[in-house]
Chains A and B, each alone.
Chain A
Amino acid sequence: QKEVEQDPGPLSVPEGAIVSLNCTYSNSAFQYFMWYRQYSRKGPELLMYTYSSGNKEDGRFTAQVDKSSKYISLFIRDSQPSDSATYLCAMINSGGSNYKLTFGKGTLLTVNP
């Protein structure tokens, strides 16, 4: 079992839809949780960064962390065609001596106009 599991999709939604993206993880030492967006043939771009359990909102994006269930989510409201990309969840083990990111596989999202 991989440390971080993420459904690769693909996920296709109409413009304006609410999108829900999810990851599960097995390592209870993960404390920092991120969502990155990656456009085709580009490097990942940080969208959201949360620490431990709770919610964080930034514009149309909301990140949720449920450490008891080892489950994190990213919600995108009023989705736009420009949101079409691969969304990667990533986590950091707070007990480690470095800050290496452990990523999920990524979910490919297409928002259709």
Chain B
Amino acid sequence: DTGVSQDPRHKITKRGQNVTFRCDPISEHNRLYWYRQTLGQGPEFLTYFQNEAQLEKSRLLSDRFSAERPKGSFSTLEIQRTEQGDSAMYLCASSSLTDGTQYFGPGTRLLVL
């Protein structure tokens, strides 16, 4: 078990472009979370999956954001028509059904120019 992994670790894009991030949770973890962290702030909840079902989305997740977790394994987070305000660290976490402890990945740092 190598923990939660995220890819890419860094992404620089131009405003208006689409980007997609991937998260591979700890194997057999049913729950998967996405958070966003801006400089000097704690992570803020974006969305949550239990297996393949997306059960909750934050108001922070505008229509330009979409997340999927096909087959209840890895997850992707896509941002369409990126804006400079989307620049942040995007963190993925996973947990099991029996233990709510969330384990975080290293994050994907996005910079929108």
- Chain A positions near chain B (C-beta within 8 angstroms): 4, 6, 8, 32, 36, 41-46, 49, 88, 90, 92, 97-106
Q: Is the CB of B42 within 8 A of A106?
A: yes
Q: Which of A6, A43, A101, A106 contacts B45 (CB 8 A)?
A: A101
Chain B: residues with Cβ within 8 Å of the partner, total of: 27
CB of B55 within 8 A of CB of A97, answer yes
* 5 more A-B residue pairs beyond the given contacts A43-B105, A105-B42, with a C-beta to C-beta distance below 8 A: A44-B91, A90-B42, A101-B93, A102-B45, A103-B43
CB distance B102 to A101 under 8 Å?
yes
| Interface residue SS majority, chain B | strand
How far, in angstroms, from A81 to B103 measured CA to CA in the complex? Answer: 24
The reply to whether A98 and B48 contact each other, CB–CB distance below 8 Å, is yes
If A43-B91, A45-B104, A46-B101 touch, whether A100 touches B42 (CB-CB below 8 Å) is no
